[in-house]
Structure 1
């Protein structure tokens, strides 16, 4: 793939790509998967996100990426005085993004979504920079619905999504999986957690922001779960339980970065929310899942649709948050454990498409 163009004077110019997306890890991981191969091919990579969001934390871990923070609003599904201020923050963010993009002169903008992406997409459109949007969930989120009219192409993860969208812009690329996740060592994962080989490992992940409902349910049942499993509990920032430190066979973390590939490599079963990026990564790694999607009261219902699609495909069991009791949790997890071999067989039927290659080709085509 070419990484440069020739100016009218005949000099070679470096290709430039701008990324945006944030608010949660799910709005960053796809970008984080695409950035290293683009850097390796000689692209100049910049990123616009919020000033203090999780995207700044995650992208700052990547070498060779210039990060810029702008003002941004937040999508809230509850009444709050901040909702009155947010439109002004978004307008301010549009002006900030417009000025940044005018100076950066990217050949293309790749947007993963999240509310921070809206002013960046508009700023790119005002600068006549072509925009590619990526939508992971089965149905588009509000930010991507707002940004959609300004985009040239919209990449989607679920085949069902492309069928529903009749805009002529949508292209099914499949799930984008971070390559480093496939390089984990089960032995290193067990050693780091001081676990015993041979006893199943259960990984609990409530999303980058954690889940108090899931955390509380797991902790109430640690003793019972520990009879069958060794437990890695990723509980979210500020959600560690000091009273459980030192419990044999139970390890809790706010968030796992570099050690995640090893932790996943030694994992046998997963309890998780149903964010698209995470569950497709578990699918790619053949990890049977119990999914507990965010309720409609706390979200737009996208995780419920994601989880149901996976359940119908035979990749998981689903427990709705409204039905999350101790007995229901233990029963649903036992069902996943009993059927784990059948679930893995079903997962193996699914091919491993080169989504990163598809998107990089689309980036090249759009930038040209």
Structure 2
């Protein structure tokens, strides 16, 4: 089977694609892959590092305001479709899967016009422009949130969950804790703002350090590479309590997550998939800087079911952050109820489900 995967722009589109590829490799040994992305996107580095064949096309996203740049984008889209058709024909693709980002637009559209079975995977509760556009042309649509289904043709939608969720299962939480210097004996909260960090979260944590030092739980605080030096300067002024471990980045996040009791994080789709798969309660601080405010809507999909609490960035203070953590981590009943609710929302076999959708499409084409 010859499979083309396309997704880019952010890790939230790329890591689910890689998780799916690994699942397909387990299920189908003779599968061949080609990943189509952009040369300037994160995918060009991340995917090639995984030794997956990679080709690039040139495409940019639409501006939401009227702009001459959108005229250029239409031209790039049409050229991207022509380039994609050429690549797909040369590769002799059996199926094409888009996991999000504007690069999927011309790739998946080209595949549909060539009669190649197509799937899009929507990670968020509110779809982006690209997937809304492609939904008219693809054969199948995989979603991670029930809330997303209403934006698409019902007969095409399957609830699969996020393939990334499957990859955090079976990790050694004890090893994860020890790898970052955490104690095995006391409750632990992980605080992070994504791979690049988030300044408002960092500011709230710095203001909370003294209070954290007086608590009977421990804090693993990930600043993001871009903010680490700045945070360290602030920490030197206020002091670093023994029960607060500060890191710029964590490379073995699935392993570390497996040993965590509570997480404070943004509400990106991949993060939420990992947390629900493991049954980790969360305090979610949605980024207000994303399209359609989709992170807040992602977060509400968890909070409405008791798996998370929401703390909006505009309401975030050091005092409120500590209060929310204390309320959950220092009350076993609350913590256990949230764990149960999170697990009920998790879809641990997400990668397998998406693989099944793909396999069924290919079988239908071959009949």
Normalised TM-score (structure 2): 0.86
Matched, 1:231 2:226: no
305-314 or 353-362: bigger deviation:
353-362
Counterpart position of 1:51: 39
What CA RMSD, in Å, does the superposition of the two structures yield over aligned residues?
Answer: 2.6
Matched, 1:323 2:300: no
Q: 1:104-140 CA distances to partner (integer Å, 9 max, x unpaired)?
A: 1110001111112112112222332221011121221
What is the rounded CA distance, in whole Å, between the counterparts of 1:212 and 1:80 in structure 2? 30
In the alignment, is the contact (CA less than 8 A) between 2:120 and 2:131 conserved in 1? Answer: yes
Counterpart position of 1:267: 260
Structure 1 gap segments, 5+ residues each: 1-14
Number of matched residues?
350
Q: 1:146-202 CA distances to partner (integer Å, 9 max, x unpaired)?
A: 221121110111233335534421122234344331232223222221222223222
Deviation, structure 1 residue 48: 0.6
Other structure's SS at 2:155 match: coil
Deviation, structure 1 residue 75: 5.1
Which of 60, 63, 73 lines up with 2:48 in the alignment?
Answer: 60
Matches within 5 A, 1:95-174: 95-163=82-150, 165-174=152-161
Structure ranking higher on relative contact order (CA contacts 8 Å, 6+ apart): 2
Seen in structure 2, the aligned counterparts of structure 1 residues 237 and 148 have a Cα distance that, compared at 3 Å, is farther
Matches within 5 A, 1:1-368: 15-40=1-26, 41=28, 42-63=30-51, 65-74=52-61, 85-163=72-150, 165-228=152-215, 229-241=217-229, 242-243=232-233, 244=235, 247=240, 248=242, 249-254=244-249, 256-257=250-251, 259-295=252-288, 298-337=290-329, 338=331, 339-350=334-345, 352=347, 354-368=349-363
Other structure's SS at 2:3 match: strand
In the alignment, is the contact (CA less than 8 A) between 1:24 and 1:209 conserved in 2? Answer: no
Q: Greater share of helix residues, 1 or 2?
A: 2
189-198 or 172-181: bigger deviation:
172-181
Seen in structure 2, the aligned counterparts of structure 1 residues 224 and 94 have a Cα distance that, compared at 3 Å, is farther
Normalised TM-score (structure 1): 0.86
In the alignment, is the contact (CA less than 8 A) between 1:183 and 1:261 conserved in 2? Answer: no
What is the rounded CA distance, in whole Å, between the counterparts of 1:211 and 1:325 in structure 2? 14
In the alignment, is the contact (CA less than 8 A) between 1:16 and 1:107 conserved in 2? Answer: yes
